[in-house]
Chain A
Amino acid sequence: MHAPDFQRQHFDVWFLFTAVALVIFGTTMVYSSSAVFALERYGDSYFFLKRSLAFAAGGFLLLSFATAIDYHRYRRIVYVIMLAVAVLVGLVFIPGIGRSAAGATRWLKIGPFGFQPSEAAKIATVLFLAYSLEKKAPRIRTFAVGIFPNMVIVGLLSTLILVQKDLGSAVILMMMTWLLLFAAGARLRYLFGMLAGLVPVATILIMGSPYRRQRILAFLNPWNDQYGSGFQMIQSFVAFNEGGVFGRGLGEGQQKLFYLPEAHTDFILSVIGEELGLLGVVAIAALFLIFCYRGIRIALDAPDLFGRYLALGMTLLIGLEAMLNMGVVMGMLPTKGLALPFVSYGGSSLMMSLLAVGVVLNVSSYRSSERHAE
């Protein structure tokens, strides 16, 4: 496919709108859920709000760049980006540069900020897969060419991330890869064969790590250890239960007052559930659903396979993470340490998500000229 095959159009406004709405929603909730905690820890109740606003500003800057850059130009630098990201992920292991928090080492120190290379790795993986799957499109139904090389590269990256105790990101990467292969047309027998092969691996991974085992047990029955491993889960349930249909009112939540750990990051949906009630949760879910719908539309309308896979991959990254996060917070899935994209506090996640949105917006601004010529 070459330049003459497609023409410019306006980018998808709905896709942008949902992202912006979620970021505004999120920033508000980050302030509501973190003010007291921030006041105690940093002596400044606006601590997280200020940083959130800075990240959002940075993120929208990245978004506008990405919207302006013709996505076809990424084809040439796919391997460079992949390599750079792998190096970044690896750097986390070097003492003095890597930073730990909550028993996991997954940050790089950059001045007063920490950067989570796994967030960048997700974006890079989508780029790589889009490129690779487009290139291998004619042989996508083989295992050796269509599936194996991609799985090896993504698998290596996931393993690196997994070692950093970032199970959530690794799971997202693998799920996204599997779904992209599925969309690209890989043979179902290979895809499901892989899935079957993953079951024992996953079992060993989970049962081999005491903290993961505990999370699974806490998920299965949080009441067994109400004040220990089940604490977070139960506090989250309490928040939803307290919220009712209309919530207790913005800023009125009690659960965020240290009952609910990580109220402004992974469990921000609980705070939304408590303060804005069922309506707030429905609003969030609806926004993500529109986001996914538009993302998939953009993928279907993309003028070429590279654009299609890019749009689909980025949408999958965000949509899957949102789904898994909501599932975890509502007790349908075991705890994984995933943020709610756009909404949770977290610089790397917010900026990389907005970058992804920018890339998809750029894809949406092209359409196939032949189709419209028909």
Chain B
Amino acid sequence: MPRFQTSGDETKRRQISRIFAIGGFFAVGFALLLGRAVWFHLADNEQLEKVAMRQYRTAVQESTKRGKILDASGREMAVNVQAESIYADPRYVKDPYYAANELARILHVPRQKLVQRLTSSRKFVWIKRLVGDEEVKTVKRLNLPGIFMMNENRRAYPNGSLASTVLGAVGFDAEALGGVELKYNDFLVSTSTPGQFKRDARGHLYLSPTDASDEQRLSEITLTIDKNLQYTVEHELETAVQKASAKGGVAVVVDPLSGEVLAMASTPSFDPNHYAKTDPQLWKNKAIADAYEPGSTFKVMVIAAALDAGTVTPETIYDCEQGKMQVGSKFVRDTHPYKKISVADIIKVSSNIGSAKIGKTLSEKEFYEAMRSFGLGSATGIALPGESGGIFPQPTTWSELQRVTMAFGQGVSATPLQMAMAFAAIANGGELLRPRILKRMITADGENIGVPGREVLARPIRPDTAKLMADLLKGVVKTGGTGTMAASMEYEVAGKTGTAQKVDPQRGGYASGKYYSSFIGFAPAEVPRVVVYVAIDEPAGNEYYGGQVAAPAFRKITEEALHSLKVPAQGSSDPLIAETLSPVEDGVPEELPITEVSEEGRQVRGMGNGKWRMPDFRGLTMRGVLAAMGPAEVDLQMHGSGVAVEQSPSPGTVISSGASCKIVFKPML
């Protein structure tokens, strides 16, 4: 067969080249595999993240028990209780329909849901988590095959919704969902004897190899919050919100001398024992997470700065131009027309025009630096998660109008806590303090690890200016002032009203008829022991001025706070003050006060300086947020993963380039 006869050399060559080809085949194959492996790491696979997140949510390392959270007097705010959870292994369930019927009846779980779970091909399904003792007994008596119980630890909040936005909550799988629980999660879960559980795909808990079964000791966090005062604050705030048919409200009580936060409330709030039933929006601590345009309360800082700089005295007279002053093509208005009045009266009747003129006595740089040293534009650094720093733009970005409107609190934004701390600086003689929420932290080993003490962040005004300002603020609650309803029969009060129009997040500009009405003040005016902030969000009744809706709650909270601090009542120094006296209305401009919000397009163009309005990110994924952010040059801080549930600044707020923007994500379930 000559056709098949080949020479030895040719065969040899062919063999060698073909074996080389096989080598090449391997090289290409492994190169492809390596490429694929690299791709896994380079590609940001959202879908996979989601699967992982969903699984690991049930696989978080759990400490069996979390440390306690106590109030300032050692009363329990967050503890642990044990409860049984019921689950099933559908493979062993003999009659899923019967079982579903019975379980649905006892546990009040939809029958359809149970049928679906019990007939599934999975090996583990939850029936109900953390069930009450009676229900567990009833289920046990039924002796259903394939239905099992598991002991789980549950976080319990004995006071229900009390201080919930401060405390946060803990999910079924021991994941902290906010507040102190989240901020100090690591500390709270670190027990002296780690009994770390992981959860496998079947949902069984198993002890990881480093287990130990000794009795656990718990760590402890003591807050500066006073449980009783917190209760009063929440109660009064709720009452005020209901009375004003408002959307919500915020209240903060601070000790101006130490910087300790004695109470902090947002309403509506939620019950952390049943957090899952409430909208995650309500988990937010509005006292620190949301920045609002402060409105007239801001005049206090402006006038204090002018007094401190010596550009005005309380007696300096300004022409309030009969309630209408032209700035460029726009007008700044007062609710009531005034002609020539003193600085003392400007604050008392809350004249926008007067404040604007006082603000003008400071140079842009002086104005900016004074406000910054009152803490505007930077987060207070309180030991709670999700704090916003508000917005206080650089002078280079100010428009002519903004320069004017800022003097009465428009075109800037601040959180309730920032405002409270700025007032505290006036109350305590000129020191801006870092607010404190922690009193003590004790580890599971009984070691007292220090918490930050009193910290002075800045000295915005001199002690004598502070004293002078406090005197002026006493006038606000006196006859003829805007805050008469804040006046107490027991203690002398100093404070300021604020009624800010809210920014419309959709249209930009101010939303008509939507107000954020507040009263901030301190008492006793001579030796202040508490600073109280009360704000009512979107009062919908006939009364909407801060002096009408927030001032009464302020008075009650202030009195209660001073009682709890055992400050003796002084009796009113001004017998003319009576609750029935109606306050002078706050200086709310009737026309849209044109700040950069309403004229955004013009400003961006005019100044060539980037400004953006925060869109509503909630519900978006990280990618979605990045896409929505577009070209805006902001410092995006994204925390967690999943979908956005929290953002600061809040939607509709205007931010300038370089501003930081924080977005918190939670796994979607």
Interface stretch (choices B10-18, B85-93, B495-503): B10-18
* In-complex Cβ contact of A183 among B15, B37, B40, B122 (8 A): B15
Contact string against B for A residues 267-298, beta-carbon threshold 8 Å, 1 for contact and 0 otherwise: 00000010001100110010011001100100
Which residues of chain B are within 8 angstroms of A36 by Cβ–Cβ distance?
198, 200, 206
Which residues of chain B are within 8 angstroms of A30 by Cβ–Cβ distance?
none
Check A332–B36 contact: CB distance below 8 A.
yes
B627 within 8 A of A: no
Interface stretch (choices B49-57, B129-137, B515-523): B49-57
Check A312–B26 contact: CB distance below 8 A.
no
Check A35–B209 contact: CB distance below 8 A.
yes
Which residues of chain B are within 8 angstroms of A226 by Cβ–Cβ distance?
51
Check B19–A289 contact: CB distance below 8 A.
no
Which residues of chain A are within 8 angstroms of B45 by Cβ–Cβ distance?
237, 241
Check A292–B23 contact: CB distance below 8 A.
yes
Check A285–B37 contact: CB distance below 8 A.
yes
* In-complex Cβ contact of A259 among B18, B27, B37, B201 (8 A): B201
Interface residue ranges of B319-350 to A (CB < 8 Å) = none
* In-complex Cβ contact of A332 among B16, B33, B38, B55 (8 A): B33
Measured between C-beta atoms, what is the minimum distance from B540 to chain A in Å?
A: 47
A240 vs B32: C-alpha distance in the bound complex, in angstroms?
16
Contact string against A for B residues 20-35, beta-carbon threshold 8 Å, 1 for contact and 0 otherwise: 0111011101101110
Check B198–A257 contact: CB distance below 8 A.
yes
A185 within 8 A of B: yes
* In-complex Cβ contact of B40 among A35, A137, A184, A330 (8 A): A330
B365 within 8 A of A: no
Check A288–B30 contact: CB distance below 8 A.
yes
Check A300–B37 contact: CB distance below 8 A.
no
B449 within 8 A of A: no
A254 vs B45: C-alpha distance in the bound complex, in angstroms?
18
Which residues of chain A are within 8 angstroms of B199 by Cβ–Cβ distance?
257
Check B47–A323 contact: CB distance below 8 A.
no
Check A40–B48 contact: CB distance below 8 A.
no
Q: How large is the interface on B (under 10, 10 to 19, 20 to 34, 35 or more residues)?
A: 35 or more
Check A296–B23 contact: CB distance below 8 A.
yes
A39 vs B211: C-alpha distance in the bound complex, in angstroms?
14
* In-complex Cβ contact of B48 among A237, A300, A326 (8 A): A237
Measured between C-beta atoms, what is the minimum distance from A243 to chain B in Å?
A: 8
A223 vs B29: C-alpha distance in the bound complex, in angstroms?
26
Check B33–A330 contact: CB distance below 8 A.
yes
| CB nearest neighbor in B for A258 | B201
Contact string against B for A residues 136-166, beta-carbon threshold 8 Å, 1 for contact and 0 otherwise: 0111111000000000000000000000000
Count of CB-CB pairs between chains A and B under 8 Å: 126
Measured between C-beta atoms, what is the minimum distance from A74 to chain B in Å?
A: 21
Q: With A241-B45, A300-B16 in contact, is A254–B26 under 8 Å at CB?
A: no
* In-complex Cβ contact of B198 among A141, A227, A254, A288 (8 A): A254
Max count, chain A CB within 10 A of own CB: residue among B23, B36, B37, B52 = B37
A334 vs B47: C-alpha distance in the bound complex, in angstroms?
20
Q: With A257-B198, A289-B27, A289-B30 in contact, is A185–B15 under 8 Å at CB?
A: yes
A299 within 8 A of B: yes
Check B34–A285 contact: CB distance below 8 A.
yes
Measured between C-beta atoms, what is the minimum distance from A187 to chain B in Å?
A: 9
Check A238–B51 contact: CB distance below 8 A.
yes
B1 within 8 A of A: yes
A221 within 8 A of B: no
Check A245–B16 contact: CB distance below 8 A.
no
A319 within 8 A of B: yes
* In-complex Cβ contact of B22 among A139, A183, A278 (8 A): A183
A273 vs B38: C-alpha distance in the bound complex, in angstroms?
11
Interface residue ranges of A311-339 to B (CB < 8 Å) = 312, 316, 319, 323, 326-327, 330-332
Check A323–B15 contact: CB distance below 8 A.
no
Which residues of chain B are within 8 angstroms of A240 by Cβ–Cβ distance?
37, 40-41
B59 within 8 A of A: yes
Q: With A183-B19, A312-B19, A316-B22 in contact, is A141–B48 under 8 Å at CB?
A: no
A-B residue pairs in contact (CB < 8 Å), sample of 30: A36-B198, A36-B206, A39-B206, A139-B1, A142-B4, A182-B18, A183-B22, A184-B15, A237-B40, A240-B40, A241-B41, A241-B45, A242-B52, A243-B41, A244-B41, A245-B41, A254-B198, A257-B201, A278-B37, A282-B34, A285-B34, A288-B30, A292-B23, A293-B26, A323-B26, A330-B33, A330-B36, A330-B40, A332-B32, A332-B33
Could you tell me which B residues sit within 8 Å of A by CB distance? 1, 4-6, 11, 14-16, 18-19, 21-23, 25-27, 29-30, 32-34, 36-38, 40-41, 45, 47-49, 51-52, 55-56, 59, 122, 198-202, 204, 206, 209
Q: Considering the complex of A and B, which 5 residue pairs feature the smallest CB-CB distances, nearest first?
A: A258-B201, A240-B40, A257-B200, A241-B48, A259-B201
